[in-house]
């Protein structure tokens, strides 16, 4: 793989972001077809363009040889003056994907490390994310990067 750079996503990246979002969708659909539809889009073009422009929801891309090899969709969260929550600032990773053709080549690690550095630079207390139980590869990756469970979501299918 060529030299890898991580940067903020731009509008020109939209077609590639959509391709990668579809890869994530299919992982979730295969793991939980009762919850995730196949062959649909998480974001419309206008929604994705709006997110790219939103400093409160930064998207970072890992690029190699002019091709986006992965992304991290993030959201800055802070509950100021909440009744029960402290005022900490959190960077939430809403979605992280590495193209299935380049997994195992440290693209995810580069993205994750970049996100951590970004979170520190804007004064975040922590970085959080959710991972689906039907995605053990993602769970293993996040655990290898030092993440630990913060809360557990549970369900009973009726």
Residue corresponding to tokens 């557990």: 152
Q: Taking the CB of residue 91, how many other CB atoms lie within 10 A of it? A: 23
Q: Select the CATH number that applies to the domain covering 4-144 from these four: 3.40.630.30, 3.30.70.100, 1.10.340.30, 3.30.565.10.
A: 3.40.630.30
Quote the distance between the C-alpha of residue 42 and its chain's center: 13
Going through 20-119 in order, the beta strands assigned E by DSSP cover 59-64, 67-78, 89-98
pLDDT in tens, 23-65: 999 999 999 999 999 989 999 999 999 999 999 999 999 999 8
pLDDT in tens, 79-105: 999 999 999 999 999 999 999 999 889
> What predicted TM-score, i.e. pTM, was given to this entire model?
0.93
Nearest to 124, CA basis, from 116, 133, 132? 116
pLDDT in tens, 103-156: 889 999 999 999 999 999 999 999 999 999 999 989 999 999 999 999 999 999
Ordered by start, the domain boundaries in the chain are 4-144
Q: How far apart are CA 9 and CA 107, in angstroms?
A: 15
């Amino acid at each position: 793989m060529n030299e890898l750079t991580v940067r903020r996503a731009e509008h020109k990246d939209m077609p590639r972001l959509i391709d990668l979002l579809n890869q994530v969708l299919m992982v979730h659909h295969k793991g939980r077809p009762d919850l995730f539809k196949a062959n649909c889009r998480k974001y419309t073009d206008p929604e994705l363009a709006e997110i790219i422009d939103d400093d409160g929801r930064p998207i970072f891309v890992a690029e190699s040889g002019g091709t986006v090899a992965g992304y991290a969709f993030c959201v800055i969260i802070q509950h100021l003056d909440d009744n029960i929550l402290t005022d900490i600032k959190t960077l939430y990773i809403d979605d992280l994907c590495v193209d299935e053709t380049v997994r195992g080549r440290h693209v995810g690690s580069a993205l994750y490390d970049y996100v951590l550095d970004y979170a520190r630079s804007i004064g975040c207390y922590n970085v959080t994310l959710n991972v689906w139980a039907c995605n053990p590869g993602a769970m293993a990756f996040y655990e290898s990067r030092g993440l630990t469970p913060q809360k557990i979501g549970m369900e009973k299918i009726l």
